[in-house]
Amino acid sequence: MDHFKNIYSNMACEYHRMIEYEDVDGNLYDCIDKLLTADVSRVLDIGSGTGRIPLLLSDPRFTVVGLDLYWEMLKENVRQRSLSAGSWLLSQGSAEALPMSPDCFDVLTAGWVLGHTCSWHSDWQTELDIVLKEMHRVVRDQGVIIIMETLTTGSVIPSPPTAELSDYYDWLENSWAFSRQEIRTDYRFPDVKEAISNTEFFFGEQLSSMIVDNNWSRVPECTGIWSKIV
pLDDT in tens, 50-106: 999 999 998 888 999 999 999 999 999 999 999 999 999 999 999 999 999 999 999
Q: Considering the domain boundaries, does residue 210 fall inside one? A: no
CATH at residue 179: 3.40.50.150
Would you tell me how many other CB atoms lie within 10 Å of the CB of residue 190?
10
Query: Smallest Cα–Cα separation from 135: which of 164, 183, 100?
Result: 100
DSSP strand E in the chain: where?
42-46, 63-68, 89-92, 105-111, 139-153, 179-184, 187-188, 218-219, 221-229
Q: Considering the domain boundaries, does residue 34 fall inside one? A: yes
Q: Considering the domain boundaries, does residue 142 fall inside one? A: yes
Structural domain including 28 reads 3-190+222-229
Q: Considering the domain boundaries, does residue 150 fall inside one? A: yes
Radius of gyration of the chain (CA): 17
Q: What's the CA gap between 52 and 18, in Å, rounded? A: 11
How high is the mean pLDDT of the chain? Answer: 96
Pairing of strands 139-153, 221-229: antiparallel
- Give the number of domains in the chain: 1
**199 pLDDT higher than 80:** yes
3 state SS for 158-215: CCCCCHHHHHHHHHHHHHCCCEEEEEECCEECCCHHHHHHHHHHHHCHHHHHHHHHHC
For the stretch 128-147, pLDDT in tens is 999 999 999 999 999 999 99
Q: Considering the domain boundaries, does residue 17 fall inside one? A: yes
Q: Considering the domain boundaries, does residue 211 fall inside one? A: no
Q: Which amino acid is at 204?
A: G
**1 pLDDT higher than 70:** no
Q: Considering the domain boundaries, does residue 201 fall inside one? A: no
The predicted structure's pLDDT at residue 38: 76
